[in-house]
Chain A
Amino acid sequence: MNFWNDPLKVAADWLSGIFTGWGMNSVAANVLVAFLGVLMLITILMVIDIFLVWIERKVVARFQDRIGPNRLGPFGLIQPFADIIKLMIKEDTTPDDADKVVYNLAPMLSMMSVLILWAVVPLAPVMLGVDLNIGALFLIAAGSIGTLSIIMAGWSSNNKFSVIGAFRQVAVMISFEVPMLAVLLIPTIFSGSMGMNAIIQHQNIWYVFLSPLAAVIFLIAAIAELGRAPFDLAEGESELVSGYNIEYSGMKFGMFYAGELLHAFTFGGFWAIMFFGGYRFFGLEKVSPFLAIAIILFKALLGYWIIMWVKYTVMRIRIDQMLAFNWKFLTPVAFVLVMVTALMNALLRGAPSWLFVTGMILSNIIVAWVALEIVRSISRAERERIEGPKQVAEAHH
């Protein structure tokens, strides 16, 4: 057992050896080491978070044909640190009649609901917080704490716009939890486990090749959970100024903002874990745990990049469109897909892997095609009802 094969365990053993050497109880030493491990993970995440601000600004600049931050340091890399200093020394305002305790608790809960997700993220086969056998459900549970933080922020600010923004955001979040939970069952069906590590270990074939539709639905639900465009109607600058976080200033606003960026990165990571093999990449993860970490971080960044790509490409939709899209389209499709996948999985259990993959992909394509056909015929009927039947003369143009 050397450092390069299992760095966390070696470091933990070394540390607890030191602590017990100081005359500390071995149980207390283990608790202290675990605490230090959590502290280290959170610190690393927060440092990554600082650079995510830079990445986000650079990428949006490229999408909008600009250069982005380029003054401070090479490629503007020092810019986010300057931003943090600015956020720290800004005046910390609290609105009159705000509910002070709830108002100050909300940004912390928001950040916490993101950081807590990393407890179940396996960075490498041997490096993970806890291998919960209910990892997929844990994702939803942490999301519900995020929902709570938003409604607390909106209500305690004592501002009509922030309450409306919070209502919208919470409506989006609790609606899209349903298809997300349904789609999370699909990797569970394939792997027979809800644990993140088990799901990764089972992905000899990436699940995106078995169930591309599930991967797409998960991405859409994740973007909605994040409240990013096209589902950023809670922010709605033209109607609501900024949504639930209007009244927050300085680092309290920074917590929401940084939380959102880290959340997007985290969902990129979960997308990679669920559908793109997590830390696995052609056996490279077996070479060194550090390589595995590099692979999963790269995949998470790729997922984050796709989320940004969607954000800066697609327009914001209205709340009725969002609700109709979720409840009348995404949720039924997700449930039908879960049923079809469970059925096909039972039918093709003993089949060779090429037949299994083909059957799964075909069933996915059929589900997607039928769903789109139904939506198309309904929307055509709706359009005819509103605009009247299509004129024949127009068709000649």
Chain B
Amino acid sequence: MTGTQIFFLIVGAVTLIAGLMVVTVRNLIHAALWLVATLFGVAMIYAILNAGFLAVVQVVVYIGAIAILFIFAVMLTRRQAADTGASINSNWWAGAIAAAATFAGLAFLLKSWSGFSKQAAAIPSGFDAVNQLGNALTSPQGYVLPFEVASVLLLAALVGAVYLAFNKK
């Protein structure tokens, strides 16, 4: 077992445990903080996969913006951060079956993929992943259209939010 594998197993276990804590702790702020830990674990897995750009963007967007926004929303709207009452309802078995089926389906798909048991090829030196990603996102042969459509969608969401919050005199 290589060092990377050991590291991956540790990070994966921490991420999964943190994810489990998100849905089981009572205190909403604690849940948000566990969510931060989960997202950080995912960022570390990106870093292990040599996707440094994705890892940093994961931290900036999900921890720096979304998780902070969650915490803000909880603090500003709740008097009591802790929830009372049952944390699972009577449909838990349906959820468990759906989750197990999704996991089994993904595992099956990956198992039937030819690259599943192969070692990843070493990245050639001088390979600039950020450059490649930038070119792919902005070249007409690449993904410029989906990229721009997504930007317009976000802009529309922004305009809509401003319109809703705008105080009509």
Contacts and interface: CB of A to CB of B under 8 A. Distances in A.
Contacts of A134: 52-53, 56, 130
Nearest to A163: B75
B65 A148 contact: no
Interface residues of A, number: 25
B36 A148 contact: yes
Nearest to A135: B56
Interface string B51-74: 011001101100111011001100
B63 A145 contact: yes
B128 interface: yes
B146 interface: no
Given A151-B71, A194-B130, A137 B29 contact: no
A140 interface: yes
Interface residues of B, number: 22
A20 to B, nearest CB: 16
Contacts of B67: 148
A interface, by DSSP: helix, strand, loop or mixed?
helix
Contact of B57 (A137, A143, A145, A163): A137
Interface string B3-27: 1000000000000000000000000
B31 interface: no
B60 A140 contact: yes
Contact of B71 (A27, A132, A141, A155): A155
A170 B72 contact: yes
B63 A144 contact: yes
Interface in A190-241: 194
Contacts of A138: 56
Contacts of A152: 33
Interface string A345-389: 000000000000000000000000000000000000000000000
24 contacts: A27-B3, A99-B29, A102-B33, A132-B52, A133-B130, A140-B60, A141-B56, A141-B63, A141-B64, A144-B60, A144-B65, A145-B59, A145-B63, A147-B68, A151-B68, A151-B71, A151-B72, A152-B33, A155-B29, A170-B68, A170-B72, A174-B64, A174-B68, A194-B130
Interface of B: 3, 29-30, 33, 36, 52-53, 56-57, 59-60, 63-65, 67-68, 71-72, 75, 128-130
